[in-house]
Amino acid sequence: MELSTRDRALLTALEGGLPLVARPYAALGERLGLSEGEVIAALRRLTESGVVKRFGVVVRHHELGYRANAMVVWDVPDDRIAEAGARLSALPFVTLCYRRPRRLPDWPYSLFCMIHGRERAAVEALADEATAKAELSGLPRATLFSQRRFKQRGARYGARDAEGRGRWTISTAA
């Protein structure tokens, strides 16, 4: 969808998150010279169109005690990826699931998912369970635990530059 000047102003105003007051959309509107109703209508439209993909709480998993997070990957034949992806995404402990390109010879894997847990052994058991339930047993697989986090930052939608383009960056699992 084409973003209006108003949409861009709203996304920029939300960069720091929703104001933490009882009527946050009225507070946002006040800053932008919009009514509460106009802010709500614009945000609903941006959410329905998918520009805003989630509107909620984003937790820092490490701080919540999820010290073990693994990227689990399989080399799935192309004609089986869609079905395997659907099976994986139905599992409650799988938080993200993507098809990505292989980069041979270094990286033969085509299906990715993320599994978060409080303990490494528990995540390994879940990776085994995911493999079995998605019918991926016997296929090449790797489980990559995160060791250190260097950079994690919130999504930003900054001020517009000289050309009028909104400058933005985003934090999400790509």
Looking at residues 38 to 97 of the shown chain, list those that interact with another protein (rule: CB under 8 A): 40, 43-44, 46-47, 49-61, 63-64, 66, 71, 81-82, 85-86, 88-89, 94-97
Using CB under 8 A, count the residues that bind another protein.
80
Give the containing element (helix H, strand E) for 5: helix 5-13
Instruction: Give 18 or 139: the residue with its C-beta nearer to another protein.
Output: 18
| 136 forms part of the interface with another protein (CB under 8 A) | no
In the window 140-159, what residues touch another protein (CB under 8 A)?
Answer: 142, 144-155, 157
Identify which of 122, 172, 167, 132 has the alpha carbon closest to the alpha carbon of residue 152.
172
- Residues contacting residue 150 through CB under 8 Å, at least 6 positions apart: none
Nearer to another protein (CB atom), residue 103 or residue 138: 103
- Which residue's entry shows tokens 């041979």? 104
* Tokens, residue 16: 């720091």
